[in-house]
Structure 1
Amino acid sequence: MRQPDIEIYLKDADHHAITGWLSQALGPCSEWRQKGQTYKCDVDSAAGVIPLTWLPKAVGKWHSLYLDSPHTPWPDDLACARAAFAALGVEVRCAPGSWQEDESDETADRWIRVSADGEEEIVWRTS
């Protein structure tokens, strides 16, 4: 089932490399607009406008990339994480499925790690 949005976390990712990858995967990005620590842009894809949010160092060295649209080439966070790792060669983490606000802390701490070592489920305490 296609997720309504996608969020992945990239370790030590270069902002320019992210923009290049997204432009190739989705279409050209508008200029990034900075608002506080957050950056936003829009991609005008064949499926419509996809709003993007980049939050550097959202969790330690981990940067958050949020795609606020169900109209991406990836059906879920894991597919996007795999594509990001393949394109950028940096470790990527994502939730194993759609996250719900009322989930237990134990469930919320379950993540998928995509790296040169392969894929594995890990416990990542982000708070």
Structure 2
Amino acid sequence: MRQPDIEIYLKDADQDAVTAWLNEALGPCTPWQQRGQTYKCRAGDIPVTWLPKAVGKWHSLFLESDATPWEDDLGCAHAAHAALGVEIRCAPGGWDEEQGEEDADRWIKVSAEGEQEFIWRTD
């Protein structure tokens, strides 16, 4: 089932490299507009939010649309890793508060070693 939006975390990724990837994957990016700690743009028709160092060295990339080329966060994570060569983390599917705190800490990492589920305590 297609997710309503996409969010991935990129380790030490360069914003210019991410912009180049978004240009290729989604369409031309508008210039980034800084709003507080976040940056926003549109890649094609998709609103994008970039939050540098959202969790330590991890940057958050949030695509606010279900019209991306990817069904879910994991599909996007694989594409981002292939394009950028950095470790990517994402949730293993949609999550809501009813699932409990333990499930909130379940993540998948995509790296040169492949795909692996792990516990990531971000608080």
Please give the range of the TM-score, normalised by the shorter of the 2 chains: over 0.9
Q: Which residue of 2 aligns with 1:116?
A: 112
1:50 equivalent in alignment to 2:52: no
Task: Please report the TM-score for the alignment, with normalisation by the length of structure 1.
Answer: 0.95
Residues of 1 paired with 2:97 and 2:68: CA distance?
23
Unaligned runs of at least 5 residues, structure 1: none
Amino acid at match of 1:78: L
What do the CA deviations read for 1:52-101 (whole angstroms, capped 9, x no partner)? 00000000000000000000000000000000000000000000001213
Residues of 2 paired with 1:90 and 1:73: CA distance?
20
Residues of 2 paired with 1:98 and 1:75: CA distance?
11
Any idea what SS the aligned residue of 1:102 has?
helix
Residues of 2 paired with 1:58 and 1:65: CA distance?
9
Residues of 2 paired with 1:114 and 1:34: CA distance?
28
Residues of 1 paired with 2:47 and 2:98: CA distance?
26
Q: Which residue of 2 aligns with 1:102?
A: 98
Q: Which residue of 2 aligns with 1:11?
A: 11
Residues of 2 paired with 1:33 and 1:102: CA distance?
35
Q: Which residue of 1 aligns with 2:32?
A: 32
Amino acid at match of 2:49: T
1:68 equivalent in alignment to 2:80: no
How much does 1:35 deviate? 0.5
Amino acid at match of 1:74: W
How much does 1:102 deviate? 2.9
Unaligned runs of at least 5 residues, structure 2: none
Percent identical across equivalent pairs? 70
Amino acid at match of 2:93: G
Runs of 4+ residues over 2 Å off in structure 1? none
Task: Please report the TM-score for the alignment, with normalisation by the length of structure 2.
Answer: 0.98
CA RMSD, 1 decimal: 0.7
